[in-house]
Amino acid sequence: MTAGQLIEGEVTARGRKIAIVAARFNDVIVTSLLKGATGAWLERGGAAADLQVVRVPGAFELPVVARKLAGSGRYDALVALGCVIRGDTPHFDYVAGECARGLQLASLETGVPIAFGVLTVNSLEQALERAATTAGNKGGEAMQCALEMAGLMARL
CA dihedral of residues 25, 65, 36, 59 (deg, nearest 10): 30
- Give the active site residues: 91
Write the secondary structure of 93-143 as one string of H (helix), E (strand) and C (coil): HHHHHHHHHHHHHHHHHHCCCEEEEEEEECCHHHHHHHCCCCCCCHHHHHH
Q: What are phi and psi of 6, to 5 degrees?
A: -85, 130
| Coil, strand or helix at 53 | strand
